[in-house]
C-alpha cells in the first residue's frame, strides 16, 4: 500500500497548479485583447479550464484527507487550500464570462455577416429575376431581328406592275405574324430592292405610313401603270404562226390582264381596253386574227 501524502504536500501541489493557472489566464487576457478568431481563443480557454478542473480535484482530495485525519491534523494547510480554491473559482468565473461574451459577439457578427450576404444575394437574385422577366416579356411580345429575318416576306423587285401584288402580300404577312409598326418598317426596308432610287427615298422614313405614301404616290397611280403596259405591248415583236409563239403570247396577255386587275384597273371596266386590245392584236398577222375570230 503506497504511503499517504500529507496535507501540506497536497496544498503545495495545489499552489503550483494555481500558479500555472494564473499564467494561462494571463495568456488568455493577452489573446483576448487582440480580438482573435474564436477558435484561437477557444484553445486558450480550454487550457485554463483544464487547470481549473485540476485544482478543483486537488481541493477535493485535500478536503477528503482532512475528514479522514481530522485528529492531529493542522488546520492551517486546510484553510489555505480552501481560501486558494475560492479565489481560483472566482477568477476562473470571470474568465469564463469574458469568453462567453466574446463567443456571443463573434457568433452574432457571423450571423449578421451571413444575413447580409444572404440579403445581398437575394437582392441580386431579385434584380436578375426582374431583368429576366422583363427580357422574357419583351421577347414574347416582340420577336428579335433573327426571327424577323425568317418571316416569308417577298422582296419587291422595284417594278410598277408587281407593286400592288407585293404590297398586298407584305401587309398580309405583317397582320398574320402580329408585327407592330416599328417591326413593319424594319421589314419594309429589308424588302426594298438594293440600289434603287426609291429605296433611298424611304430609307429615312420614321413611320411605315410615310414609307407607303412615298411609294403609293408613284407606283399606285393607275394612269402610269396603263402607260407602262401599253408601252410594253407596243414593244412586243410580231407573233409567229407556231404553237410555241402563240402560247407565249397568250401567257403575256394573261399577265398583263392580271397586273391590271391587281392594281385596281379591271380590264372590262377600263377605258383603255379597246386600245389595249388593238395593240395586242396588231402583233398578230391578218390570217391569224381571222382564225381566232372564227373560233
**Residue-level pLDDT at 132:** 57
Q: Quote the cell numbers at residue 245.
A: 409563239
Closest CA to 59 of 96, 95, 18, 3: 18
Residues 10, 61 contacting (CB under 8 angstroms): yes
| H or E element in which residue 105 lies | helix 75-141
What is the Cβ-side half-sphere exposure of residue 171, based on CA atoms within 13 angstroms? 8
Q: What is the pLDDT of residue 109?
A: 73
For 6-19, b where at least 16 C-beta lie within 10 A, e where not — what string? ebeebbeebeebbe
Contact partners, residue 57, CB within 8 Å, separation at least 6: none
How far is it, in rounded angstroms, from Cα 54 to Cα 208?
94
Q: Which three cell numbers stand for residue 204?
A: 429615312
Counted residue by residue, the chain has a size of 295
From 225, 252, 212, select the one nearest 160 (Cα to Cα). Answer: 225
Q: Sign of torsion, CA 286 288 291 292?
A: negative
Angle at alpha carbon of residue 89, lines to 16 and 39, rounded to 5°: 85
Per-residue model confidence as pLDDT tens digits over 135-158: 656 555 554 444 455 566 778 888
- Cα(226)–Cα(263) distance, rounded to whole angstroms? 10
* pLDDT at residue 290 in the model: 47
pLDDT on residue 138: 58
Q: How far apart are CA 95 and CA 112, in angstroms?
A: 26
Q: What is the mean pLDDT of each run of 10 residues along the chain (295 residues)?
A: 69 90 92 88 91 90 76 70 89 91 83 62 62 60 50 79 85 86 88 87 88 87 75 74 71 72 62 67 58 51
What pLDDT is stored for residue 146 in this prediction? 46
- Report pTM: 0.41
Convert the pLDDT of each residue in 167-223 to its tens digit: 888 888 888 888 898 888 888 888 899 888 888 888 888 899 998 998 888 888 877
Angle at CA of residue 161, ends 157 and 263, nearest 5°: 130
Q: In what helix (H) or strand (E) does residue 126 lie, and over which residues does it extend? A: helix 75-141
Architecture of domain 7-139: Up-down Bundle (1.20)
What local confidence, expressed as pLDDT, does residue 74 receive?
Answer: 65
Amino acid at each position: 500500500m503506497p504511503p499517504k501524502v500529507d496535507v501540506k504536500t497536497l496544498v503545495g501541489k495545489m499552489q503550483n497548479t494555481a500558479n500555472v493557472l494564473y499564467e494561462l489566464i494571463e495568456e488568455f487576457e493577452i489573446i483576448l485583447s487582440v480580438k482573435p478568431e474564436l477558435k484561437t481563443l477557444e484553445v486558450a480557454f480550454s487550457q485554463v479550464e483544464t487547470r481549473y478542473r485540476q485544482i478543483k480535484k486537488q481541493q477535493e482530495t485535500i478536503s477528503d484527507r482532512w475528514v479522514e485525519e481530522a485528529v492531529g491534523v493542522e488546520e492551517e494547510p486546510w484553510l489555505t487550500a480552501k481560501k486558494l480554491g475560492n479565489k481560483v473559482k472566482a477568477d476562473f468565473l470571470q474568465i469564463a464570462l469574458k469568453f462567453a461574451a466574446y463567443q456571443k459577439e463573434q457568433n452574432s457578427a457571423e450571423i449578421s455577416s451571413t444575413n447580409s450576404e444572404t440579403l445581398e444575394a437575394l437582392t441580386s437574385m431579385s434584380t436578375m429575376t426582374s431583368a429576366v422577366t422583363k427580357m422574357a416579356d419583351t421577347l414574347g411580345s416582340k420577336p428579335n431581328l433573327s426571327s424577323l429575318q425568317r418571316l416569308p416576306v417577298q422582296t419587291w423587285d422595284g417594278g410598277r406592275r408587281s407593286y400592288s401584288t407585293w404590297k398586298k402580300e407584305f401587309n398580309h404577312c405583317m397582320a398574320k405574324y402580329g408585327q407592330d409598326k416599328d417591326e413593319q418598317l424594319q421589314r419594309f426596308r429589308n424588302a426594298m430592292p438594293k440600289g434603287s432610287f426609291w429605296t433611298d427615298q424611304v430609307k429615312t422614313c420614321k413611320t411605315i405610313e410615310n414609307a407607303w405614301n412615298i411609294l403609293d404616290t408613284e407606283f399606285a397611280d393607275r394612269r402610269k401603270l396603263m402607260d407602262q403596259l401599253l408601252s410594253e405591248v407596243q414593244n412586243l415583236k410580231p407573233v409567229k404562226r407556231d404553237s410555241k409563239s402563240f402560247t407565249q403570247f397568250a401567257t403575256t396577255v394573261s399577265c398583263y390582264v392580271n397586273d391590271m386587275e391587281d392594281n385596281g384597273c379591271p380590264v372590262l371596266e377600263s377605258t383603255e381596253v379597246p386600245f389595249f386590245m388593238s395593240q395586242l392584236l396588231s402583233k398578230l398577222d391578218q390570217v391569224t386574227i381571222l382564225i381566232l375570230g372564227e373560233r
